[in-house]
Amino acid sequence: MVTTVTSYGRSGLSDWLVQRVSAVILAAYSIFMVVYLLLNPEIVFAQWQALFDNTGMRIFSLMALLSLGAHCWIGLWSISTDYLKHFALRFAFQMVVGLLMFIYTIWGVQLLWGL
């Protein structure tokens, strides 16, 4: 058993599962957006706003946003533990990534929900 304290969920299985589930959500969201834009080539601002006013769409977007944060954290944490061998550099990288994910998530929630 290898002990880690900076990984997303501490357990390898939990990180692995979150990575897979978030990937499916992100894929579904990406496909939805591409198909929506293809089906509405002449989209105007009012229509776009109406789409994001819909509660279902807001929940879907928030789910995708949280998935993106978790997915990035797990992925970049893995990359940092593979390639950054210097402890201070690795820890600093992990903290910067964590901070950025936090900022993007809060910012995204503010944008989506108009808080």
Partner 1 sequence: MLTVSIYRYHPELDAKPYMQDFQIDTGGKDLMVLDVLNLLKIKDRGLAYRRSCREGVCGSDGMNINGTNGLACITPLSKVVKNNKLTLRPLPALPVIRDLVIDMDQFYKQYKKVKPFLLNDTPAPGIERLQSPEERAKLDGLYECILCACCSTACPSFWWNPDRFIGPAGLLQAYRFLADSRDTATEERLADLDDPFSVFRCHGIMNCVTVCPKGLNPTKAIGHIRNMLLTRAT
Identity of the residue, 4 or 30, whose beta carbon is nearer to partner 1 in the bound complex: 4
Identity of the residue, 20 or 107, whose beta carbon is nearer to partner 1 in the bound complex: 20
Applying CB under 8 A, which of residues 4, 30, 47, 54 lies at the interface with partner 1? Answer: 4
Shortest gap between Cβ of 74 and partner 1 (angstroms)? 9
Q: Distance from first CA to last CA of the chain, Å, rounded?
A: 44
CB 43 within 8 A of CB 37: yes
Identity of the residue, 78 or 105, whose beta carbon is nearer to partner 1 in the bound complex: 78
Q: Which positions from 6 through 45 interact with partner 1, judged by CB under 8 A? A: 7, 10-17
Q: Which amino acid is at 80?
A: S
DSSP state of 4: -
Q: Which positions from 39 through 78 interact with partner 1, judged by CB under 8 A? A: 78
Shortest gap between Cβ of 20 and partner 1 (angstroms)? 10
Question: How many helices (H) and strands (E) are present in the chain, helices listed first?
Answer: 4, 0
Three-state SS for 67-79 is HHHHHHHHHHHHH
Contact set with partner 1 (CB under 8 A): 1-4, 7, 10-17, 78, 81-83
